Structure 1
Amino acid sequence: MDYIQSLFQGLIDMGAPVFLTIILMVLGLVFRMKFSRAFSAGLTLGVALVGISLVVDFMISKVGSASRAFVDNTGIQLGALDMGWPPALGLAWTWEYAFLMFPIQIIVNILMLFFRWTSCVNVDMWNVGNKVCTAFLVTYVSGNVWLGLLFATLQAVLELKNADVTQYRLQKLTGIPGVSMPHPMFLAGIWIYPFVKIMDKVIPSTVNFDAQKLREKIGAFGENHIMGFLVGCLIGFFGGYDVRATLTLGVQAGAALTLFPLVAKLFTTALTPVSESATEFMKSRFKNRTFTIGLDWPIMAGRSEHWLIMLLAIPIILIYSLILPGNIVLPFGGLMNICLVVPLFFLTMGNLVKMAIGTIIGIPMQLYVASYFAPHFTALAAKTGGVETPEGQMLAWFGMDISELRYIIAEFSQFSMIGIVLFIATVILSIFYFKGMKKEDEQIKKELGITDQGMNKEAS
């Protein structure tokens, strides 16, 4: 590792935007992209990192200062401001070893395809950042870079296996054949699946609501800028701001929540052409095989169930943050709790009642995990200089992908007793989960009338 670090130290010292621009450009050239396209993709990634830093700085200077006033006035200790997923993963990319996860994910995918351990060609390059995040968190907690990279590699393997055992479930929910879902958040199913099976026994599948009609009643209040405005006004009001300052903060908070997804799209813009080239590269080397194309979760975003539960959960999230003892996180950027709600949608096949129950039970765990990791995100920001945080202010990620699993491996990497016990429980639950999901997926395959012969015909 010392040799690798010394080899790349000159580039690393230039900062993540420059360094990762070069890395992505080289990766594109390896996949036989034209130089102009590879350079454009790399530079767009650098621009995205700069953009995320600017938006987070803006959020901290405006919303962060108000949240500190909120803490002072109420006496509630919420010293960690939730960034949400775009800034959190953008910050993870500034970690000095982040570049290693590109080749690790690609090599893992190629090896598993070669040995026929997966049929998923994972082209979701944006979520390389999630492996970076896992590696960085484990490294910071354990002090061991190799351990961090090992767990991130294991995550890449499990994502591909999960994509294989859920491909027909995904097809039934979306109507899109030939795709799969290697997104890390669906590994939350390892812990959620047993709970869903219990709910299936207790709550009949007929107990449900029409999501689209309920969402239409919420209307414009589900828009990012309006949610940000309302939350900003609440923070300003309880922070003791006057009317003018409160309304100004509301508009600024609305701007922050509006800008996050806009800047995050730059990551997709940068990584999509590289993903396409990687797909062609792998297909040319694994001919006469039936593959699924591993995509990001938004192919399911058209379903109303997600958004309805996310919106209804916002006041519950804020109440939990105020009353849970030991929580230090003020939810803001992650109020749309994608990484809990979407896996629940996937596992319950869109049953609103079961999704709502699972969300209410799961939120406290996410707040505590966000509190646990807040010092480490703050330390990374301070070390890399990606974001400047005022004294006493911490950065957090509420609604983190696979919150429970990241906490467990972080504790296990320190060989704490709770970490060892939870890790063993996770291994047992993983076996139960993958066996159960594979059996259910085979049943869904039969329901859809799909045969292996038909699949081969489609592939040819």
Structure 2
Amino acid sequence: MLGVLQWFIGLGSTVFLPIVIIIIALLFGVKLSKAVMAGITVGIGNIGLGLVIDLLSSNLGTAIQKMGEKYGTSLSVMDIGCGVGGPLAFSTTLGISIIVVSLVLNLLFVVLGWTKTLNVDIWNFWYPAFLALVANAVTGSVVVGVLAMVVALMLQWLLADLFQEKISNFFGYPGIAITHMMALSGVIFAIPVNWLFDHIPGLNKIDGDAESIGKKFGIFGDTVFMGLIIGIVVGIFAGYDVAKIGQLGMTTAAVMKIMPKMVAMFMEGLMPVAEAAKAWTNRHLNGRSVNIGMDAALTVGHPTVMTTTLIMVPVSLLLAIILPGNKTLPFGDLAFFAFAIALMIPFFKGNIVRSILGCSLYMVTMLYLSTWLAPVITNVFKLAKYNVGTSGLVTSVNCGTWPVALFAGTLQTVGVVGLVVIGAIVLGLLIYVNKIKKADA
């Protein structure tokens, strides 16, 4: 069974995601021809998103790595990036087994009414699997790793349920829940920080959403033009010549224009499935709503998300250099910050000023946590027999989030009992949010 699953994952997300969408659509009663077209359309959108992200990472990513080498040479812990998280997780038995565990347990929870999220974002099962590997690395026990996997999955569904309505309304995705746990982690930080911003005189009066900025500043507030300028600035700081600076500027501008169109195609394929899921639950689950869990890639094309992400590149490098005690050099994750901060934007009300300030504060916590977690993350790579190409400590800035710190810190201080308590609390919250609170309402 594990061999079959490993083969399936080995097909790549551009192949297995359309297959999963087709199967889910058929289960919800969508006609075969419509289900096949939905799967193909999602696959095309996924390929398009991949091409745009590759375009961004191979151009802007190379430039910002040169910036890192130029300005952050005193930092000793290398950010190897979350991009290796999937291959790392799915190269282990824990990582492969999570596919069966998640799908079966998730379906059971949906039927029991303990979650509204049916997660089909198989690729991003890697994050709960990564938490399981962290538990395994800390304790040396595969059994504790399996327990951590179950707790992480329940936590993922809880966060998706809690924030689905706000995120769905902001991005305009009815019936869709974002289950990308790395992205969901930032919401817990954004909510209290936005409350603080609401109570700071002056800052609480600034209207800084993308549309307002566009109206006030004309071409200078247009996200495509901002992409051009940011690309040029990064090229200058990377030490590029004039031709490369111009090329980087145009590439970054192109990403700002193309990304939303690829997301729209992705959603075009998902909408028939979401509508069929709603109709199916109305018939078979007493009208109880079920949301289809998908990747945060659907949200990164939003103008405020893209603008904030690009501005965070130089900000993160500056913070890494000036923060006392930080040892992490942002490197591999510089081109993937969008996936860590995308879901924070709705809770900053789409306000670019708040988003930049809030995400900068979040970056401070991520740098310190990724520094502290570096020994654990390095052990995870060793556990998976993954060659990271370095003999020193490695980490991932985007994995320097509170769930990783919570699992690692709890197991290091309290042990497996603490993990059981966390699991019981998460399960209780799932039941409260989806059964008790709903019944009271």
Q: What band does the TM-score fall into relative to the shorter chain?
A: 0.5 to 0.7
Which letter maps to 2:396? W
Instruction: Name the CA shift for 1:389/1:116 in 2 (closer, same or farther; >3 Å).
Output: closer
- How far residue 342 of structure 1 moved from its aligned partner, in angstroms, is 2.8
Q: Distance in 1 between matches of 2:407 and 2:331?
A: 24
> For structure 1, which segment, 365-374 or 110-119, has the greater mean C-alpha deviation from structure 2 after superposition?
365-374
- How far residue 231 of structure 1 moved from its aligned partner, in angstroms, is 4.6
Q: Distance in 2 between matches of 1:96 and 1:169?
A: 35
Q: Distance in 2 between matches of 1:332 and 1:410?
A: 22
Indicate the residue corresponding to 1:186 in structure 2.
184
- How far residue 228 of structure 1 moved from its aligned partner, in angstroms, is 7.2
Deviation per CA, 1:171-210: give whole Å up to 9, x if none: 4323443333333232443444344334434458962324
CA contact (8 A) 2:320 2:326 kept: no
CA contact (8 A) 2:186 2:344 kept: no
Q: Distance in 1 between matches of 2:326 and 2:97?
A: 35
Paired residues, what number? 414
Instruction: Name the CA shift for 1:232/1:291 in 2 (closer, same or farther; >3 Å).
Output: same
1:333-348 counterparts in 2 under 5 A? 333-335=333-335, 337-348=337-348
1:412-427 counterparts in 2 under 5 A? 412-413=410-411, 415-416=412-413
1:157-306 counterparts in 2 under 5 A? 157-184=154-181, 185-202=183-200, 207-212=205-210, 214=213, 217=220, 220=224, 223=227, 231=234, 234=237, 237=239, 283=280, 286-296=284-294, 297-301=296-300, 303-306=302-305
Instruction: Name the CA shift for 1:26/1:253 in 2 (closer, same or farther; >3 Å).
Output: same
SS of residue paired to 1:331: coil
Instruction: Name the CA shift for 1:158/1:302 in 2 (closer, same or farther; >3 Å).
Output: same
**Alignment of 1:106 onto 2:103:** yes
Deviation per CA, 1:197-252: give whole Å up to 9, x if none: 344344589623243254682665755x98678657645x5xxxxx77x9889989
CA contact (8 A) 2:110 2:290 kept: no
Instruction: Name the CA shift for 1:199/1:229 in 2 (closer, same or farther; >3 Å).
Output: closer
Q: Distance in 2 between matches of 1:29 and 1:339?
A: 26
Q: Distance in 2 between matches of 1:226 and 1:381?
A: 38
Q: Distance in 1 between matches of 2:392 and 2:68?
A: 8
- How far residue 347 of structure 1 moved from its aligned partner, in angstroms, is 2.5
Indicate the residue corresponding to 2:117 in structure 1.
120
SS of residue paired to 1:315: helix
SS of residue paired to 1:326: coil
Picking from 80, 86, 89, the partner of 1:90 is 86
Q: Distance in 2 between matches of 1:102 and 1:287?
A: 24
Which letter maps to 2:303? S
Instruction: Name the CA shift for 1:349/1:99 in 2 (closer, same or farther; >3 Å).
Output: same
Instruction: Name the CA shift for 1:65/1:380 in 2 (closer, same or farther; >3 Å).
Output: farther
Q: Distance in 1 between matches of 2:198 and 2:424?
A: 21
RMSD value, Cα: 6.0
- How far residue 403 of structure 1 moved from its aligned partner, in angstroms, is 0.6
- How far residue 101 of structure 1 moved from its aligned partner, in angstroms, is 1.2
Indicate the residue corresponding to 1:307 in structure 2.
306
SS of residue paired to 1:100: helix
Picking from 408, 411, 414, the partner of 2:409 is 411
Picking from 120, 125, 130, the partner of 2:127 is 130
- How far residue 119 of structure 1 moved from its aligned partner, in angstroms, is 2.5
1:419-438 counterparts in 2 under 5 A? none
What residue ranges of structure 2 are gaps of 5+ in the alignment? none
Instruction: Name the CA shift for 1:91/1:250 in 2 (closer, same or farther; >3 Å).
Output: farther
CA contact (8 A) 2:17 2:122 kept: no
Which letter maps to 1:207? K
Q: Distance in 2 between matches of 1:121 and 1:15?
A: 20
Q: Distance in 1 between matches of 2:70 and 2:337?
A: 23
Q: Distance in 2 between matches of 1:11 and 1:385?
A: 20
- How far residue 366 of structure 1 moved from its aligned partner, in angstroms, is 0.8
Which letter maps to 2:355? M
Indicate the residue corresponding to 1:147 in structure 2.
144
Instruction: Name the CA shift for 1:310/1:437 in 2 (closer, same or farther; >3 Å).
Output: farther
Q: Distance in 2 between matches of 1:15 and 1:427?
A: 30
Q: Distance in 2 between matches of 1:382 and 1:199?
A: 42
Q: Distance in 2 between matches of 1:332 and 1:315?
A: 14
CA contact (8 A) 1:81 1:394 kept: no
Which letter maps to 2:315? I
SS of residue paired to 1:165: helix
> For structure 1, which segment, 173-182 or 15-24, has the greater mean C-alpha deviation from structure 2 after superposition?
15-24
Q: Distance in 2 between matches of 1:312 and 1:22?
A: 33
Deviation per CA, 1:429-450: give whole Å up to 9, x if none: 989x999999xx99xxxxxxxx
What residue ranges of structure 1 are gaps of 5+ in the alignment? 238-242, 443-451, 453-460
Indicate the residue corresponding to 1:329 in structure 2.
329
Deviation per CA, 1:330-352: give whole Å up to 9, x if none: 33533553355333323233344
